[in-house]
Structure 1
Amino acid sequence: MKATGSVTTPVPAGRARARNRRGEGGRLRAEIIDAASDLLDETGDQHAVTLRSVARRVGVSTPSIYRHFPDHAAVMLAVVQRQFAGLERLLRAAVEQAGDDPRQRLLAVCDTYLDFARHHPSRYRTMFGGLWTPSPADSSLTETDRVMLGASSMAVLVDALGDCATVGAVTSTDVPTDATALWVGLHGLAHQRVVTPSFHCPQHITERVITSLARLTES
């Protein structure tokens, strides 16, 4: 369901990073997340995002990362959380820009979601488990972390579909379930495009997916 927050220009490998001034302790943490995100974009390979490679990109020693993250899983979780936060901002902005028509707001949310996946395929696959999936062995991840990943973004879709139901633009009588079905359809389409660039989508497939799964009435 793309923007991913501000990105700090990475420090070239081999060059020492300037020390934080007083009150800038959070800057290194942000730069670590930036570096991990950039490595993921560049390589499309979660295995290339190691603590050592991230430290080299930022310009610090590997042990410096442990001051902010206990392990690799925690770094990846922070990357994924940032992506979902950025996605939520995009979806809410799309709703605002679409105006007062609930149908147009729902379509804007769906289109923005698909655009995000198309423009940031590696990040998208990471968010939804294609490249990295949190495992029970990841001690730094709580059950709340796992459950809440993507929840705010999903809420935007639920709200948009609910607004359509209120004005009769959809025939849904179970908005949360139908919103989940719609997301599954959007995700399937987005994932297929990401993992199989040569995949040829039939004409108007996006409109068919949204119309049928959202249960849109004729405008």
Structure 2
Amino acid sequence: MNEADVTGLDTPQQVARVRNRRGEGGRLREDIIDAASALLDETGDERAITLRSVARRIGIAAPSIYRHFPDQPAIMLAVVEREFAALADHLREAAQHAGDDPRERLHALGRAYLRYAQDHPGRYRTMFGGLWMPTLGDNSLTEEQLTGLGAPALRILADALADCAAAGQSTVTDPELDAVTLWISMHGLAHQYAVIRIFPWPAESVADAIIARVAKLTSR
């Protein structure tokens, strides 16, 4: 994607920006990420996030962005990294509030994951590819940067599964693998909730059923 392809999507809004004092360059980087996130929330279209639209949003010249980001995909990566960090914080908070029982913490994580996807549909879609995921080699991104996305959140899930196993509440023997399996299952459910309006959902919680089966939870 190049900027010429999406000029018509640039947002005309521009604000006057106070020049950063010496040593405040990091603030501009955060302002760039904030502007990109705001554009994503407002438009729901990742194509609206270009160097020009972001620069216009915060009142700077587009070339100033290059001091912090080499290209548009690098900005999008920063937005997605921030969102995965927010998801991890959301999951940690849910686990803490669930108490000491490992089974309850695992179910709380599943509910929290679905709630995050429902509360932030645009950002959630972008986190998992959306339209921004570029072809490696055409930009500054590396395979390591992309494959490492979401690792802290996945670690929380794996630790919760390991806790269930240690407490005799689960028969899983590979929490790392089962965490990936459970994540993919919950992701699929979140997607179905988002796109299907008419479906004979069972009265019982589908999320709880997925967790019980994938996590191999034992009877109480």
TM-score by length of 1: 0.88
3-state SS of 2:86 partner: helix
Q: Which has the larger radius of gyration?
A: 2
User: Could you tell me which amino acid in structure 1 is paired with residue 77 of structure 2?
Assistant: L
Give, in whole Å, the separation in 2 of the partners of 1:88 and 1:116.
10
Shift of 1:199: 4.8
Gaps of 5+ in 1: 1-11
Shift of 1:181: 1.3
Q: Which moved more, 1:109-118 or 1:89-98?
A: 89-98
Equivalent residue for 1:33?
33
Equivalent residue for 1:98?
98
Shift of 1:27: 0.8
Q: Once superposed, what is the RMSD of the aligned Cα atoms?
A: 1.6
Residue by residue over 1:92-127, the C-alpha shift from the partner in whole angstroms, topping out at 9 and shown as x without a partner, is: 222222221111111111111111111111111111
Give, in whole Å, the separation in 1 of the partners of 2:78 and 2:198.
31
Greater relative CO, 1 or 2 (CA 8 Å, sep 6+)? 1
Equivalent residue for 2:7?
none
Give the conservation status (yes or no) of the 8 Å contact 2:99–2:105. Answer: yes
Give the conservation status (yes or no) of the 8 Å contact 2:110–2:207. Answer: no
Give the conservation status (yes or no) of the 8 Å contact 1:117–1:124. Answer: yes
Residue by residue over 1:16-49, the C-alpha shift from the partner in whole angstroms, topping out at 9 and shown as x without a partner, is: 2111122211111101101111111121111111
Are 1:198 and 2:197 an aligned pair?
yes
Are 1:16 and 2:16 an aligned pair?
yes
Q: Which moved more, 1:201-210 or 1:65-74?
A: 201-210
- Give the paired residue count: 207
Equivalent residue for 2:5?
none
TM-score by length of 2: 0.88
Equivalent residue for 1:51?
51
Structure 1 segment 71-110 matched on structure 2, within 5 A = 71-110=71-110
Query: CA 1:197–1:17 in 2, change beyond 3 Å: closer, same or farther?
Result: farther
Query: CA 1:36–1:207 in 2, change beyond 3 Å: closer, same or farther?
Result: same
Shift of 1:168: 1.3
Are 1:215 and 2:216 an aligned pair?
yes
Shift of 1:139: 3.1
Equivalent residue for 1:8?
none
User: Could you tell me which amino acid in structure 2 is paired with residue 88 of structure 1?
Assistant: A
Identity of matched residues, %? 57
Q: Which moved more, 1:102-111 or 1:130-139?
A: 130-139
Give the conservation status (yes or no) of the 8 Å contact 1:192–1:199. Answer: no
Give the conservation status (yes or no) of the 8 Å contact 1:158–1:176. Answer: yes
Residue by residue over 1:156-185, the C-alpha shift from the partner in whole angstroms, topping out at 9 and shown as x without a partner, is: 000001100111111212222221111111
Give, in whole Å, the separation in 2 of the partners of 1:53 and 1:202.
45
Gaps of 5+ in 2: 1-11
